[in-house]
Amino acid sequence: MNLYVLLLFFAFLLMFAIIILSTIALWGIFLKAGKRGWEAVIPFYNQYTLYQITWGNGWLFLLTLIPVGGFFVYIMTVFKLAKVFNKGTGFGFGLLFLPLIFTCLLAFGKSSYRQPGEESRVAVVGAAVIGGGIGLIIGLVVLISLLVFSGRTRVDYQTESIRRERTRGEAIEREGRENNRIVEEDRYDDYDDEDKYDEYEEYQDYGEGDFVIRDGRIEGNPFDLTPRPGFEIMQIYSFDGTVVLDVPVEIESGFALDYEWVHFGNHGVSANIIMSELGSNLRFQFMAQIALHADALGIGDWYTDIVLDDEIFEIENGIMQRISFQFDRSGEMQDGFEYHMAFEYQGELVYVTIGKHFGLSGPEVDCYIKTLKYVLGFHHFMEVEMYLCFYCDPANRNEQDEERVEAMYSLTENPFDLAPTEGFQVVQIYNFGETIRLDVPAKVRGTHLRSNSLSFEDDGIRVNVDMRFWGDNALEVLRQERDMHLGIMNELEFFLEVEVDEVSQIENGVMQRITFQYELNRGVFPGVRYMMVFDYLGEFIIVKIEMVDIWEVSNFEELADLYRQMFGVNLFLD
C-alpha cells in the first residue's frame, strides 16, 4: 500500500469521525431543547428542528436557499443559537469559526435552553430579503461583466485567429519561395554542360512573366453549361462536400470521374479539372502549380524547348498562363502545349488544364481545342471563339462521315463478344496516342471508364480491362501481372489455398487461371481469377476477371458463363 492510498484512507476516517461527532453534538442540543434526539439524523428535517429551536419557526431554514441572503441568515442563526442557550457574542463567534468544538460545548456543557422571542424573527427575514437583493444585484453585475468579457474575448480571439492565419500564410509563402530557391540552386549544380544550362535557364524563372491585368471577375460557375452534342454535365466536390461544381465533360471517347476531379480527352487533347483547398494567395498557389508542371515536363527525355509564355493573364479571382514545348513521337519532334487556369469558387480553388501531347492534327483537333477553351472558361482571359465545326457535331454526321471516323482508327478482330445484352452497353477505350480504339462491353451502371481502361463489379464478379503499349510480348506481360497479383494475394490473410494453372495460349493471346478460397466472417467461398493478355495492333489488352459468389446469388453460374463468353475466356477453354 503506497503513501497516497494511506493518506486517502486517513482523510476518509477523519471526515467520517467529524460527521459522527457533529451528529452526536446536534443530538445533545436537541435533547437540551426538549426535542427528540433522533431528529438530528434526518436530513433537512434536522435543519427544520434547529431553526425551530433557534427562532421558534422551523420553516425559516428555507431562507438559507436565497443567494447571498442565505449566508446572512446562517450567521444570524449561529449567534441566535448561542443566545437561546444563554451564551454571549464571543461564544457565537466560536460557533461560527470552530463549529465542531463549540457545538460539543453547547451540547455537553452546563448551559440551559430558553425559548426564543418573537421580535427577532422579523430581523432575520429582513436580513434574508436585503441580502437576497444584494445578491441579485451582485449576480447581475457579474453576469453583465462576463458577457462583456466574453464578447471582447471572442472578438480578440477572432482578430488573433485572422492575424495568425495571415502570418501562417505569409510564412508558407516565404517557405515555398525559399524551397523553390534551394531546388533551383541544386538543379543549377546538376548542369555541368553549358548549353544545357542555358537552355534550362530560359524557362527556370517560371512565375516571373508580365502580368496582364484584365477587368472583371468570374461570377458563379466559370464554365459554359450550354447543352451540346457529345458533352454531359457532371459534378465534382470540395474535400468536405460543401461545395459542388457542375462541369461539362466530353463523353464520346471516355472519361474518368472522381470525387474532386474529372479527366477526359479526344483527338490527342486532354482536359483536367480538379477542386482543391484555396490558400491565402491565389497567384502564388497558381505559380507553384504551374512550376510543378514545367518541372514534370522537364524530367523525361520526351519534352524539350519548354517555355512558359511571358504573359500571365489575371482577373480579380482568376489567373491563366500557357506552356509550350516540343515532344518526341517515334523519332519525330512535334509541337505541344498546355493551358493552365485557376480561379476561386465559393472559397475553393478550381484548377483547369487543357493539354495537347500527341501528334494528331487536322480540323477535328483544332475544332476540339477551340471548343474546350470556350467550354472550360478560358474565354474569361482571352478572345476565344466558341467553335464546334459541322463535322464534329455528332448530330450532323452521315454514313460517309462515320466511315471517315472509322478510318481514323486502326481496327482488328475484337476478342470480346459485343452481341447486345440486357444491362450492358458498348464503350470505347484507346491507346496512349488515341490512334487505336477498342470496343468493350460494360455495365450500363457502375462502370468506371477512363481513356485507356475500364472496371466494374456485378454480384461478386469484378472486371478490369486495360490497354497499354509497354512489354516485350503477351506472355511476359501476363507473367508480370500474375506475379504482382500473387504477391498481393499472399499478403492478404483472407486468400487461402491459392493455386495457379498452366498458361493457355492462342494465336494472339495468353491466359492463366488462379483458383483460391476467399475467407469471410460468415464462411469460406471458392473463387477464380482469369488473367488474359491479347496482342492488339502493337498494343496489349489486359483483361482480369475475378469471380467469387460471396453474395450467394441464385444464378451465379449462369452469370459467370456470360462473362466468360463476353470477355474472351472461352477462346482458351475447350
Distance CA 52, CA 58 (A): 4
C-alpha grid cell for residue 533?
A: 493478355
- Residue 202's pLDDT is 39
The answer to whether the beta carbons of residues 206 and 229 sit under 8 Å apart is no
In a 3-state reduction of DSSP, which class is residue 221? Answer: coil
Beta strand ranges found along 260-407 (DSSP E): 261-266, 269-277, 303-308, 311-315, 318-329, 332-345, 348-356
Mean pLDDT by 10 residues, the chain (574 residues): 77 86 83 82 84 77 74 78 81 83 82 71 63 71 74 54 52 50 43 37 43 71 83 88 90 76 82 87 82 74 79 84 78 81 90 80 73 84 58 51 43 78 88 77 84 87 86 84 87 89 88 92 90 87 92 88 92 80
- Residue 384's pLDDT is 61
- Taken in order of first residue, the domains within the chain and their CATH numbers are 13-138 (no CATH), 203-395 (3.40.1000), 424-571 (3.40.1000)
Radius of gyration, CA atoms only, the chain: 43
SS (H, E, C) 239-275: CCCCCEEEEEEECCCCEEECCCEEEEEECCEEEEEEE
- Residue 247's pLDDT is 93
The H or E element containing residue 520 is: strand 509-520
- Residue 258's CB is within 10 A of a number of other CB atoms, namely 11
Distance CA 291, CA 297 (A): 10
In a 3-state reduction of DSSP, which class is residue 371? Answer: helix
Could you tell me if residue 115 is left (phi over 0), alpha (psi between -120 and 50 degrees) or otherwise beta?
A: beta
One-letter amino acid at 114 equals: R
CA angle (224 as vertex; 222, 227 as ends), nearest 5:
150
Distance CA 224, CA 234 (A): 13
C-alpha grid cell for residue 468?
A: 497499354
Residue 275's beta-bridge partner residues? 350
Q: How many alpha carbons fall within 13 Å on the CB side of residue 541?
A: 23
Q: How many alpha carbons fall within 13 Å on the CB side of residue 479?
A: 6
Distance CA 417, CA 442 (A): 11
| pTM of the predicted model over 0.75 | no
Q: Are strands 495-500 and 461-468 parallel, antiparallel or unpaired?
A: unpaired
Residue 506's beta-bridge partner residues? 509
One-letter amino acid at 461 equals: I
The H or E element containing residue 135 is: helix 119-190
The answer to whether the beta carbons of residues 49 and 39 sit under 8 Å apart is yes
The sign of the CA dihedral 297, 277, 452, 570 is positive
As to burial, measured by CB atoms within 10 angstroms (0-12 exposed, 13-18 middle, 19+ buried), residue 156 is exposed
497-504 long-range contacts (CB < 8 A, ≥24 apart) are 503/475, 503/478, 504/572, 504/573
As to burial, measured by CB atoms within 10 angstroms (0-12 exposed, 13-18 middle, 19+ buried), residue 39 is middle
The answer to whether the beta carbons of residues 155 and 161 sit under 8 Å apart is no
Q: Are strands 504-506 and 509-520 parallel, antiparallel or unpaired?
A: antiparallel
